[in-house]
A and B are shown apart, each in its own frame.
Chain A
């Protein structure tokens, strides 16, 4: 497609029409660009095409096509040629490759096989060598002279062994005694215990070798083992006398050195090398360096180092030695215990393989080249023959594409291409016909579009009609165009009258009303080649002076004829059927426009009426709004009153309790104060008695010191009960017996309780024989005084506590948001309501199960109100006897307070409503019905939730409060209660979100819902 886009670009200078023609030519060659852009082309081509038709131009500027065609002309032949070349060459290439691969792999396998076989042979030879050494050792072991020397003349051993060593020039001979100690060590006639002969000096002595140990237990052994730095063959056998006494051992050691591997190599033939490793270290090899020096051997390849040879398996690896490539088969060497001691490698020279590979590659390359040339030439010739008819077809198709639909394609073969050519001819004919039809259709569409646009954009009927006639004149090439509309609505068609409303072209249009009537009478569109020859229209046409061809169409709207459009044409050229079709379309659109215009007028009139009504209603609404505002204000006042009522109710509850709480201690204080007057009087008497009494000097001072010391203890001591004082008085009397007025003093001291008993022994000493009564009496009065003072202090403390609680509690709505200890609030509430909780014989048991709570941010007064309400309700519900459980804990980061009573429960029909404002089951005046609603609102305002569940014997209100306090918007409320009540008034059913547990089987009646006739709370003196 690069050609296609290039061609449009190159022809871009010729302007819009060329671009379009380029697009039209595009279907000849598929391509992404023309396809992807096709929707745009269709969308915009209407306007461009309309331009073409306006100028009466034909499709087919050939310039761009001629630029396209030559570039493509040889594409097919090239492809056919290429396909033939590939078809011819691919099998050749594939077969060649396979053949080469096969040759290579079989050569490779041949080499590996050679190497493995070489390894087998070399190993066999090496083991035969080992066997020969064993045989040699056996000969030494049976040497009678050596045995004799060993048995009788140890000094001769070395000499004899030296003689024997000449016979085995490569071997190191050693003789040990019966304990394995080396006696002699000889090689090539030279004997030395430590060193022996060239090439043997570095061999470690055999006395520690396993073969010697075996020989010492009468076994003959031969093995391959490392000795010093070399791999050796070592044979050992026991030396025994005829009675099998062990005289010693003989050990023959032969290093596996260059001479040995050379022998192995000689048996393998040319191109083979042998290498022996001790462990994984090179030991000896037949490899020669570049200088001709023997190499110890190449290092073991990494993959062989890792290899664990299983049961004699051989591995072949490539190895490069001195820049020469080999394939080396590695096999294991093992000792007599089948432990690995080294490796044997046989290398096969890879040079012949490499040469063969080079030759094969060259031959293959040449062959492929020749095949390529041959295939190219032959394919070219063949392709030309095959594509010639296609070429012709191609050029014919190009001509057609250029717009020359009369092109003849000169192909008359009887093959598929001939069929294609024939089909192409048929296709060209049909294309030509279709193109003409298409041109007409496009013209119509353009006009209809324009008329439609004009009609829809104008609302004034006259403008519409003018626009229609103008367009009709243009498109239909008329001489005159007129639209006549019906002006009345009589029953009979013949009585209709028409008035010409718009005219274009020749002026005679204004006289065409009559003709319109005639057309209307026909009731359908009409095409007359010549109006003067048309019997139905002739008369009225003549009246207007119209001659020549005429087309006319009624304007029909929902089966109602509203007018007629007439087009006349001067001269002879008749209208065609397409023209009439177009006119009918115009007529339909015009009729629609007329209807639109009429509707528009109606809507205008109607909307004016509407606007007037709106104005009236607005005024009414203004009044209603004022009324509403007034009502709301009144409502606010009522709300305040309600709140006050609720506050007063709470306060009433408080006052009743507090009065009682304060009354009790106050009464106690009152009683004590009354008693104190008498006490003070008696104290005066006692004092005077004391001074009258004949006490020893200093005794009085001692007595007062004693009394002063006891004072704090007296303040807290309990008053001694009468029952207790009697036995105590008896005991004291015994204790004080012999003193004056002992029994009187004993009775007095007994009233002091333990204190009296403790002080009694001191008194006789102080009295010094005079009467004890004044001392005891003073002490008794002082004691009573002190105790009374203590009791009064306790009572006042109690009063102070209540007042304090009241103070804290009473900060109902003026308290700001602060850090609150919930437990303090709950305890204060319990103190204030304590009179209710103590009600009755048994009373209410309050169980407090307080968890560890953090201080929370809250309005303390409001929360206290909640606790008061709930505890009060609970107490009432239980009939003031039962169990109240207050539980607090932290759950999911929130603080949770639950208040549970053991009352009868809330009935199921009541439970859903208990949070509704003004819902109460109490009698009139007993409650406002707001208590629980307000509680719920307060909790909600704090950002918490409130929840109730109830069943007989267990009703539980659970409040959850966030530690961080109420959400920010709730904090700004002027008063929690005001906001609460306000919200309740505006949304009476909002309490539904407070979640009263609906599953509770028999809910109890709370607070305002309480139906029972329980006595109202009142103070009760205890």
Chain B
């Protein structure tokens, strides 16, 4: 009996070992295969291919879109732009209030939030982050801080309690909150800044959804998920931002699967992406407007009737479709549709050459006696317009058709800008990229009488309307959002009647992703929000 039992035992054991060996072998084979079959973008890594290398990851220095995009992932701010909209929502501050006179803003901070280096996010850190930019004698102040002007109206930043911070500003200014949502308002870790000094820009420490891991210049920046992020932590562990200057190279990386997301797609590549079942286009209207500025201070454009006739004579929709080829939408007014307060029901001047001729005749226009209008256009593509020369030619043809002679003046972009500041033009192609998502940033900056003077007037239509100026001024001092919307609506109606511009287009920001990428949000500021991105199998 003993012998038999032992024999059975032996046999059972042998079988078991055989099974173990088989399992191990199969496991190894499977593991090996999955390893060989995987592309470089592994399950725990989200790879984004971008065109350029960031300048600095210190939010006070960064001005380029690449730097700002990294800062968006690494830093927290008091408020942030809601996904897909240029509208502030709570970030490190949970609530805020404004004093009755509109000059004291108080923010309550989110408790128990830490910077990536373990330093607590408190009122002192907020004060530090602003003071180092505002105070020239601050130990951490650097000469090349780029955004000092954005916050010039801040008189004082105070830590009231560890979780309450107060800003005193010099006059009531409603867009202040939107300014705090901009990149340079990021809250930095004072510990890290003090330790690293000017090297902080290469080793950023914030309280955002990702923490900085490494930066291999010319190749990549690697970020890692912040597990203690106060909001939902990102679903992929690593975010890798590659530098690939060539758009063809970026597209190939996306096609082969070695990148999950690419930016700045060449327009010629759009059909390929559309026809490729593995790839998807993600488009969002940018906070950007391109326009034909009419110099309202020169004859004959000081007559709004002439300006309205010119607007009616331009075949705008076809122009936008042909020139932008699907990456832009025709503009109705200065505000892109994703900026709050944008009004879509103002008077427009649909293309009607017959009517334009009549309008000109009513305004006393004499085609035979008219001097040609000088249309200034940049000679190279700009971020807001892919083919300005062609646009200028189309406008010229359209206006000639109704009896308005136009002479095109092409200039290098820098010279073009200078000529516009100098007010040499009758007509000019120009564009504006919004900073903070506040309507004020378009309406006041581009069209208020305040900005027609100085060495660099941003109002290149030199438009000056007292009523408009009052409305915009009141809106700046009003903190009530509904009231501001009403005022901006009124302002847009004034513009639609006065026609200081012929608004042309709002461009789209275009990203391309693998088909299995979900949840990518492209902000109107052209920054990608990667914290909600998931990859489905």
A interface residues, Cβ below 8 angstroms from B? 83, 86-87, 90-91, 94-95, 97-99, 101-102, 105-106, 109, 113, 120, 123-124, 127-128, 130-131, 134-135, 217-224, 238, 240-244, 246, 309-312, 331-336, 338, 340
Contact = CB atoms under 8 A, between A and B. Distances in A.
B255 A131 contact: no
B22 A94 contact: yes
A123 B279 CA distance: 12
A131 B18 contact: no
Contacts of A336: 271, 274-275
A244 B398 contact: yes
A106 B278 contact: no
| A238, A242, A243: most-surrounded residue (chain B CB, <10 A) | A243
6 contacts: A86-B14, A94-B21, A127-B272, A218-B321, A223-B275, A243-B397
B33 interface: yes
Interface stretch (B24-32, B83-91, B199-207, B237-245): B24-32
Contacts of B274: 336, 338
B18 A224 contact: no
A311 B278 contact: yes
Given A124-B255, A311-B278, A90 B271 contact: no
A244 B37 contact: no
A578 B56 CA distance: 118
A134 B271 contact: yes
Nearest to A335: B275
Given A134-B271, A219-B325, A105 B29 contact: yes
Nearest to B401: A243
A242 B25 CA distance: 72
A105 B321 contact: no
Contacts of B486: none
Contacts of B318: 218, 240, 244, 246
A99 B21 CA distance: 11
Contacts of B33: 105-106, 109
B409 interface: no
A336 B277 CA distance: 10
Given A91-B17, A244-B319, A244-B322, 4 more contacts: A109-B37, A240-B322, A244-B397, A338-B274
Given A120-B255, A217-B321, A102 B277 contact: no
A120 B277 CA distance: 11
B101 interface: no
B37 A113 contact: yes
A241 B394 CA distance: 9
Contacts of B25: 95, 98-99, 101-102
Interface of B: 7, 10, 14, 17-18, 21-22, 25-26, 28-29, 32-33, 36-37, 252, 255-256, 268-269, 271-272, 274-280, 315, 317-319, 321-322, 325-326, 393-394, 397-398, 401, 514-516
Contacts of B514: 311-312
Contacts of B37: 109, 113
Q: Which one of A99, A131, A223, A340 has the greatest number of beta carbons of chain B within 10 Å?
A: A131
Contacts of B401: 243
In the complex, which of the residues A102, A312, A335 has the most CB atoms of chain B within 10 Å of its own CB atom?
A312
B393 to A, nearest CB: 7
A998 B38 CA distance: 91
Main secondary structure of the interface of B (DSSP, over half): helix
Contacts of A123: 276, 278
Nearest to B316: A244
Contacts of B276: 123, 127, 312, 334
Given A87-B14, A222-B271, A312-B278, A98 B22 contact: yes
Nearest to A128: B272
A361 to B, nearest CB: 18
Contacts of A101: 25-26, 29
Nearest to B19: A94
Contacts of A242: 393-394, 397
A113 B325 CA distance: 37
Contacts of A309: 277
Nearest to A336: B274
Contact of B326 (A131, A219, A240, A244): A219
A970 B202 CA distance: 118
A224 B271 CA distance: 10
Contacts of B398: 243-244
A130 B393 contact: no
B394 A333 contact: no
B19 to A, nearest CB: 9
Contacts of B319: 244
Nearest to B7: A83
Contacts of B252: 124
A335 B14 CA distance: 59
Contacts of A334: 275-277
Contacts of A87: 14
Contacts of A83: 7, 10
B52 to A, nearest CB: 25
A311 B14 CA distance: 48
Nearest to A223: B275
Closest A-B pairs by Cβ, 4 of them: A312-B278, A311-B515, A98-B25, A312-B277
B231 to A, nearest CB: 28
A333 B277 contact: yes
B277 A113 contact: no
B292 to A, nearest CB: 15
Contacts of A238: 322
B256 A120 contact: yes
A821 B326 CA distance: 101
B515 A312 contact: yes
B179 to A, nearest CB: 39
Given A240-B318, A312-B276, A334-B277, A130 B271 contact: yes
A337 B29 CA distance: 41
Contacts of B315: 243-244
A219 B274 CA distance: 14
Contacts of B271: 130-131, 134, 221-223, 336
A97 B29 CA distance: 13
A224 B516 CA distance: 23
B272 A94 contact: no
A709 B33 CA distance: 126
A335 B252 CA distance: 20
Nearest to A138: B268
Contacts of A331: 277
